[in-house]
Amino acid sequence: MGKKALSSRNNWQTQSGPGGLAGTAEKNLYIVFQRAFKGTIYEITDHPDHFKHLYENVILSPKTLAQIYCPDEITMEAVRKRGWGISPDFSITNTRTGKILFGEIKRQDGWVEGKDPSAGRGNAHERMCKLFTPGLIKAYRKISGISSPNILPFWVVLEGDITRDPKRNREISFWFDEFDKNFFMWRPQMNDQDLVDHFVKYLKPYLD
Each residue's pLDDT, cut to its tens digit, for the chain (208 residues) gives 333 445 444 455 544 333 333 333 357 999 999 999 999 999 999 999 999 999 988 999 999 999 999 999 899 888 888 899 999 999 999 999 999 999 999 999 999 899 999 888 888 899 999 999 999 999 999 999 999 999 999 999 999 999 999 999 999 999 999 999 999 999 999 999 999 999 999 999 999 9
pLDDT at position 121 is 86
Residue type, 64: T
pLDDT at position 80 is 84
For 138-163, the DSSP string reads: HHHHHHH----TTS-SEEEEEESGGG
pLDDT at position 26 is 54
- CA geometry: angle 171, 174, 175, nearest 5 deg: 90
pLDDT at position 7 is 42
pLDDT at position 11 is 53
- Domains detected in the chain: 9-51+86-207 (3.40.580.10)
For residue 68, the 8-state DSSP code is: S
